[in-house]
């Protein structure tokens, strides 16, 4: 993969985010374990050293495509950053907080680590929230259903508007980006088959 410049929403803006307070330290610990400098990882991921420093300190958000480039620079799968539910039964409103980048979103993983065939994620999007760019998954299939609100989905450059109750199935290898175009909160469920792996083999790629 040839790294591309960070998207505008990945500019180094110092503003704390509760999700990044978990994700940032994980990335820093992994970088230090590999004895890599901030500059080396930033150069490989095509971001600035200042931006990456803010990410590691939980002081700024990061788009999905840019997080994937950072993961590639660290030789990890983004799945290795996930927390998983402890049990197969996940009660309403619960789930393991998911850290896969994006802005204005709250995501939760609903399937346990032992599930080998499918991975289900619940995403709540603020108005304007989304992935922050296109990316691909080296899996097989993505299925998304809108529970409430609206979802703008771009798959291989084709714009698709989904409303509550609508769903779409597409190849995980298609470049896809998504956001909430409405002025009210949206909620969607994603199913990915097979699941994003936890091992170091990087199977998720930036498509920007």
Question: What pLDDT is recorded for position 5?
Answer: 36
Give the CATH superfamily of 84-206: Jelly Rolls (2.60.120.10)
Question: What pLDDT is recorded for position 202?
Answer: 42
pLDDT higher for 136 or 14? 136
Q: Which two tokens stand for residue 89?
A: 């039964």
Q: What is the pLDDT of residues 50-95, one digit of tens each?
A: 999 999 999 999 999 999 999 999 999 998 899 899 888 888 877 8
Going by CATH, does the domain composed of 8-80 fall within 1.10.260.40? yes
Q: Is the pLDDT of residue 1 over 60?
A: no
Contact 204, 135 (CB under 8 A): yes
Question: What pLDDT is recorded for position 4?
Answer: 37
Please report, to the nearest 10 degrees, the dihedral formed by the alpha carbons of residues 106, 58, 118, 155 taken in order. 70
Query: CB within 8 A of 58, min separation 6: which ones?
Result: 16, 17, 20, 21, 22, 23, 24, 25
Q: Is the pLDDT of residue 9 over 70?
A: no
Q: Is the pLDDT of residue 203 over 60?
A: no
Query: CB within 8 A of 46, min separation 6: which ones?
Result: 3, 4, 5, 6, 69
Sequence ranges of the domains in the chain: 8-80, 84-206
Cα dihedral sign for 127, 118, 98, 57?
negative
Q: Is the pLDDT of residue 170 over 70?
A: yes
Q: What distance in Å separates the CA atoms of residue 15 and residue 54, rounded to the nearest whole number?
A: 9
Q: Is the pLDDT of residue 109 over 80?
A: yes
Stretch among 32-36, 73-77, 145-149, 200-204 having the lowest mean pLDDT = 200-204
């Amino acid at each position: 993969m040839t790294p591309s410049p960070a998207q505008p929403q990945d500019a180094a803006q110092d503003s704390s985010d509760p999700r990044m307070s978990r994700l940032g330290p994980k990335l820093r610990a992994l970088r230090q374990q590999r004895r890599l400098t901030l500059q080396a990882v930033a150069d490989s991921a095509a971001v600035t050293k200042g931006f990456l420093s803010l990410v590691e300190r939980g002081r700024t958000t990061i788009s999905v495509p840019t997080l994937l480039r950072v993961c590639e620079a660290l030789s990890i799968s983004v799945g290795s950053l996930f927390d998983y539910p402890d049990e197969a039964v996940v009660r309403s409103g619960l789930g393991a907080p998911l850290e896969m980048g994006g802005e204005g979103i709250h995501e939760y993983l609903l399937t346990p680590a032992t599930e080998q065939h499918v991975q289900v994620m619940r995403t709540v999007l603020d108005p304007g929230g989304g992935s922050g760019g296109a990316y691909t998954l080296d899996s097989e299939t993505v299925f998304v259903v809108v529970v409430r609100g609206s979802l703008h989905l771009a798959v291989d450059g084709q714009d698709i508007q989904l409303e509550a109750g609508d769903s779409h199935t597409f190849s995980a290898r298609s470049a896809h980006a998504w956001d909430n175009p409405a002025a009210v909160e949206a909620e969607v469920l994603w199913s990915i088959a097979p699941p994003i792996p936890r091992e170091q083999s990087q199977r998720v790629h930036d498509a920007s």
